Structures are given as structure tokens and as C-alpha cells.
A and B are shown apart, each in its own frame.
Chain A
Amino acid sequence: MRRAIRQYVQVAPYLTLGVLLTAVFVLYPLVKGIYISFFEYKVLAPELSLFVGFDNYARALQDPKVLIALRNTVLFALVTVPGQWLLGVIVAMMVNLRTIRFKLFFRFVYYLPVISSWIVVSYLFKYLFSDSASGMVNYLLVELIPVLPAPVNWLQQTWTANLVVWVVSIWKGIGWVMIMYLAALQSVPKSLYEAASIDGAKGVRTFIHITLPLMKPMTTYVLINLIIGSFQAFIQVFLITEGGPMDSTHLLSTYMFRHAFQFFDFGYASAISVMMGLMIFVLTYSQQRTFGKDRIEY
């Protein structure tokens, strides 16, 4: 017992720092955010804030634009999570093939988008998909490979604008999934594949029956992170579509930001973000509970 206390005292300074940082930068804002959501909050003169109970929440539930933002947020997750995952796995498998040379080069190329700035990438895509015939993508699809009869106003229609946002998000996320799986693939013993090949299994079948099951912990980890990441998406919409046309491409995050920092309606924005937080919590809680428990022993 005494030893335990002594040990605790020894590590206390290191723990304190972490606890303190968490308290200041995580717990306090969390509590304060919930607190603010019950007020018509004045950020510059908090003493003048009005307590409004659940009004902000009631308002959010009746706001048709919140529904649209929610729809977009959910769709964003449904499209970009499988998209990033599938393409990331495929790329990882291909880069991992024994016949592929210059592995380092490919790894670098696919990882480059991940380390690029969101801001740069967003503006890049905004220009690639700009309207009229002078847009790069329009030029490509109308002039070079004529699959489209006329230039598309990509960012001026709800679904094409959403498509652009999805494409940039998937493109930027593939590299991360690839790196995670490449790391996991290193740990699979070669003997398993050798045994499988003796049994006559090849290519896709080894992948489905050996690789994927062995990757399960990694898959859970990657998927949870992708889901969380998809709910955090912000910059791409904020910069590329700005929520338009007609507020039809807002995500909950960008819609919340607009209310907080453009309308200074911090109470309402906090209410939206609290609801968003609850949603993420519910979505990932069950996965997190099992996560880490299933260890694979070779």
C-alpha cells in the first residue's frame, strides 16, 4: 500500500500536467459549451446573457436547415467513410504486392494529400471544379474525354456541390487508411499465406479469408476514426461551397459555425454542437466498448 502511494507521488507531476491540460482545454470548454447552450449568450458581455432553458434546443429541432445539415452530415459519413476505407484498402494491398517496385514512391504519393493543408486542397478543388468551360474538370469531361454534353456548374447545384465535397474528402483520406493498413499488413505472418497457397487459395480469396479477418482490429480502429473524422468535417464545406447553394450543402459543423461566428448566436450554436456531440457519442460508443478487446494471437 505504501509503495503504491509512493509510486503515485512519483508520477503525480506528470499526471497533473495532463489532467490540467485536459481540464483547461477539454473539460472546461465541454461544460461551458453545454452551459452556454441554455442561454441567449452574449460572448462579449456574458453578464447580460439571458437564461432560456431548452429554447435553443427546441429551436434547433424545428429549424428545417438543421435537418438539411443533418442530412448532409449523415450522407457525408455514409459516402466518405466506405469510400476512403475501400480505396485505402485497395491501395494498401496494391502497394504491398511483391511485384510492385518503388514502394516508397507510391506510399509517398498516396500519403501526400494527407499531409497537405486542408485550406490549400479545398481551394485547389474549388478551382478544379469551377463553373463554365474554363474549369479544369469541365474542360476534361467536355473537351478531352467527351462524356458530358455541356459544362456543369458544379458548385451551384446541391448534389454536384456535395459530390465535389465528397470527392475531395475521399481523395484526401485514402493515404491515411493506406498507411494504417500497410502497418497492419507487416504483422501478418507470411506462413499463413504460404499455407493458404499450398491449399490452393489465391489472390482475392486469400484477401477475404486471411487478410481481412486478421485486420479486424485495425478495421475497427480505422472505421471509428473515419466516422469521427467525417463528423468533424468542416473546412472543405466552409471553403468550397460555403454551405451554398441556398444553404443546401451545410454540414452541422458549418451551420453551427455560421450561427456562432457570423450571427454571434453562441447559445444556438452551442445547442447544435451539444446535440452533434451526443450523436457522435451514441454512434461510436458501442464500437468503442468492444474496441481493443479482441486481440489476435498468432
Chain B
Amino acid sequence: MKARTSWMTKSSAALLVAVMLGTACSSGPANTPPPANTGGEQGTNTGTNKGAETPPPEIKEATIEFWHAYGEGEEKVLLEEVLPKFKEQYPHLTVNPTRMPTENLEQQVITAVAGNVAPDIMRMDNTWIPKFAREQALQPVDGFPDFAALKDASFEAPMSTNYYDGQYYGVPLDTNTKIAIYNKELLAEAGATEPPQTMEELAELARALKQKDPGKFGITIGGVDAWNMPPWFWSLGGRITDDEYTKASGYLNSPESVQALETIIGWHEEGLLAPPILAGQPGTWEGLRGEEGTPATYMMINDGPWFFSILGDAVAETMIPAKMPSGPDGQSHSVIGGQNLVLFRGAKEPDAAWQFAQFMSSEEIQVLMAVKTGAIPTNRKAAQSEELKAIPYLQAYVDELETALARTPSAEWDKISQAFQAAFEAALRGQATPQDALDAAAAEIDGYLSR
């Protein structure tokens, strides 16, 4: 008996907690809408007062539980500059921030929600919103005061990542994309002083570099997953779904997509791609910069603004930020990433949390975070700010964002990205032809999109 029960105990312990508490809280406050969430208030508030700037008439003390997974540097800015400013504007509100580990964060969130100990508000990856909204973990925010104003002040693409099933479940906080980052020295070794403009030029440089030194790589794709591969796949003409995200067949397996994948496989067979494409060592940053005692061997990588904000002066002189080389349509299409602020259904202080969300998406704070951490603003005005122009690397990212594409917004995103990754991995490892791999993935993804 011990045999049978012990595995069950293990596999079900988490379930048990989740299930028991889940039923307990479902009859409680979780289902009742927050007071601010009523239609009437929305109309009176919009336009009459300035919302974020003026505290509400009744001053009620509240502590807002805030979860985030900011990096160390970003957390420092949050604690030392952002939160004191918030306290200044809203003396009656206290924010209690908790920095969560990124490892297993989703599992921690779902356990917390099931146990009714979720925070009021959380900074969460924007691909998670549909899934958590479907699981009834989040509360819609379109009923809160001044939502419409906030929506208008934000860029459309990041805002749209909060949309699920007819409602908005969060507000955009920061956005990012990935650009090409070149090692000046290796670029020169390949025979160029300026970053290449097109994919063909890049491949030529990579070939030249290979000829000089077979141990060096001109192109680095960080992996076959749906975060590292799309900037290349899309720029080379591939697509995952139609523009309305309803169908993958005819897009993911279109001749253009197959051609894009074949180009990447061609590079791989020529030995132009650095080892990280199939999870090899050294990693992208180590290869680009060289590790202790070993020189740099990667001419370029594709990465986000955090590369520059984290490494700072160490790379300011040696690396060149540039737009991704363009593909057949004369443009490059990188991937949009970013984080949103969401309110949980069981939030104890939804109104205060909403004020915090408004504060975080205000122009002032967005500029502050951009300048200090390289987080690209989602607030239109903040993005145009003069202060941002002083950051040398940021412009390339803002430019790249204009043609960047979003990952499929779907509650089934995890499965879609798995299918995508499996197809690319199979094709690159030579276990399936590009056409077969993409056909299979397209059919599988069609199933997820139709749900």
C-alpha cells in the first residue's frame, strides 16, 4: 500500500492544497466585483479630474502587496526612487514589494491564487495574461476609473497583450524587443566597419569570418525556442499565424516560412551558426564578449536592452547596437516582449492597487525606469521624452519596435511555443524536413487556436 499511496501523496499534495483552498475562496470575496468596478463611476471620473495626480476623496489607508521579478538593478531603482515617489504622492498608501524568483514563478503564482494568498498586483510577463485570465485568476481592469485615458496614453501593441475574451486584464508596464548586437573587433575581422543591412550581407560576413578562423561564428541564434527564433524566422519572411491569430496552417507552413527555415538550416550546415542554436556552450553573452582567458568567438548576438543596462560601461565601447538585418520584405521583424501589471481577482485592495498601476504607467515613472534600467516605456509621451535620447543604445530598440511582431496572444501560448520549438528543433537536427516539421506544427497549433 505504501507504494501506491506515496507517489500519490507527492503528486497530489500541491493539488490538495490548491483544491481545498480553491473551493474555499471561490465562494468568498473572489467573485464579488471590486467597488470601483461599476459602470457609473467610470463615466463621472473620466475627464473631470486628472485621476492619477489627485488622490480620491476618501483617504483610506491601505497596504498594497506587489509581486515582481525585477532584476537586481531594477529592484534598486524601484525601492530607492519609485516607491518613495509613490509615497510622496499617496501618503496613505504603502506598497509592500516582494521580489519573486523567476524560476517556477508561474507555479508559485497559481499556488498562491488557489491558496488565496496572491498579492493585489503583480508585474507579469505579457504572454501569461491570457492563460491566467482564462483560469479566472485575474480581474478585468477596464471598469476602473480613468482606464480609457491610460489606454489612450499607451502604445497599442503592448496594450493589446492585456486583452482576453472581450476585456482588458492588465496595463502595460514596459516593453522590449531584441536587436542585433555586434562585437566591433570581430566585425572588423570579418571585413566590415558598419553592421550589415540585410541577411545576405550578414551571411557573407559570417562566411568571411569562418574562412579566417573556423573557430569563430558570425551569426548567433540563442536557441530554437519561440523567443529566440522568431526575430530570425520572421525577418527571413516566415510567419506563425495570420494577423488575427486564428490559423497557423497556410502561414507557419507557407512556402515563405519553409524558405526561412531552410535558410537557417543552410547557415547551420555551413557552420555559420554559433553553438547556442542547439543549447551548446559558450552562452551568447560569453561568446560575444569572451570569457576569462578565452577571446570572443561570436561576432553578433540578438538580445534585449538589458544587455546594455546590465553590463553598462563594460560594453559601451566594444559593442554596437544595431537594427536586425532585413529580410525579403526589406524590413526586419523582431519579437515584442514586455511586462504588464495585473490585478488578481482576490485582491484585498483593488482600488489602491489600481492607483499604483496608474502611477507606474505615468509618464514620469516610465521615463525614470527607462533612463535607469533601459526598460522601454509603454507610455507614448514617455517614449518621446528628451531624456531617453541621451541613452545611446535605446534608439536602436525603439526603431526595431516599429516593425516588431507580438507572440501569439493565446491562453494556449505555452503549447503553441512548444509545438513551434519542436518543429524547429526537429528540422535543425535533421530529424524531419522543414516542410514536414512545419506542416505538423501548423496542424497542432491550429488545434490550440480554435479552442
Contact = CB atoms under 8 A, between A and B. Distances in A.
A187 to B, nearest CB: 23
B167 interface: no
Central interface residue in A46, A224, A264, by most chain B CB within 10 Å: A264
B131 interface: yes
A80 interface: no
A115 interface: no
A25 B13 contact: yes
Given A29-B15, A47-B26, A132 B415 contact: no
Contact of B279 (A42, A131, A270): A131
A261 B13 contact: no
B280 interface: yes
Instruction: Report whether over half of chain B's contact residues are helix, strand or loop; otherwise say mixed.
Output: helix
Contacts of A224: 3
Interface residues of A, number: 49
Nearest to B346: A44
B11 A256 contact: yes
A38 interface: no
A245 B8 contact: no
Contact of B10 (A47, A156, A232): A232
B4 A44 contact: no
A45 interface: yes
A264 B135 contact: yes
Contact of A45 (B10, B107, B136, B426): B136
B9 interface: yes
Interface string B239-280: 000000000000000000000000000000000000100111
A29 B12 contact: yes
Interface string B1-31: 1111111111111111011001100100000
Interface in A241-276: 244-247, 253, 256, 260-264, 266, 270, 273, 276
B114 A43 contact: yes
B106 interface: yes
Contacts of A47: 26
B22 A46 contact: yes
B113 A29 contact: no
A140 interface: no
Given A32-B16, A44-B114, A44-B137, A247 B422 contact: yes
B12 A264 contact: no
A263 B130 CA distance: 12
Given A228-B3, A245-B429, A281-B3, A266 B414 contact: no
Interface residues on B, range: 35 or more
A33 B8 contact: yes
B446 interface: no
A262 B12 contact: no
A231 B8 CA distance: 12
Interface in A144-188: 153, 155-156
A122 to B, nearest CB: 13
Given A46-B19, A132-B281, A261-B106, A25 B135 contact: no
Given A45-B135, A47-B26, A153-B280, A277 B7 contact: yes
A48 interface: yes
B137 A228 contact: no
A131 B106 contact: no
A29 B12 CA distance: 5
Interface of B: 1-16, 18-19, 22-23, 26, 106-107, 110, 113-114, 131, 135-137, 275, 278-282, 412, 414-415, 422, 425-426, 429, 431
15 contacts: A25-B9, A32-B12, A44-B22, A44-B110, A46-B23, A46-B26, A130-B281, A232-B6, A246-B422, A261-B107, A261-B110, A263-B415, A273-B12, A280-B4, A288-B1
